[in-house]
Amino acid sequence: MRPYRGLAIIFGFYALGEFTSFALNLPIPGSVLGMLYLLAALLGGAVKLEWVEDEAELFVRNMSVMFIPPGVGIVTYLALIRSQAVPIFTALVLSFLVTLVVTAKTVEFLRRWKE
């Protein structure tokens, strides 16, 4: 019965996020809102980590399966992607560099703060 509780909690927060995104016509995906709701519930103590930990680990271990549909989409729209290669490549490189710098500065800040 324990796995069902964890899955019900995870999918319940996912559904809550989707509902919120749809009802309020938000540009944020419902899945992201659901994760934020779950994070808030975990930090607030409404949901215990033990309740969802095993199921979350299952999703992380099988994450590669989740990349199959986007991979098929890339093959389907290969001509469009080729025609937009420069903007896509530029966005990828810039986002990589921004992520690298922000992560480095965050680690630097946290190390100084911890000392």
Would you list the DSSP string of the chain? -HHHHHHHHHHHHHHHHHHHHHHTT-SS-HHHHHHHHHHHHHHHTSS-HHHHHHHHHHHHHTGGGGGHHHHHHHHHTHHHHHHTHHHHHHHHHHHHHHHHHHHHHHHHHHHHHH-
The type of residue at 90 is T
pLDDT at residue 1, rounded to an integer: 64
| Its pTM surpasses 0.85 | no
19 has pLDDT over 70: yes
Please give the average per-residue pLDDT across 40-58, as a whole number.
Answer: 93
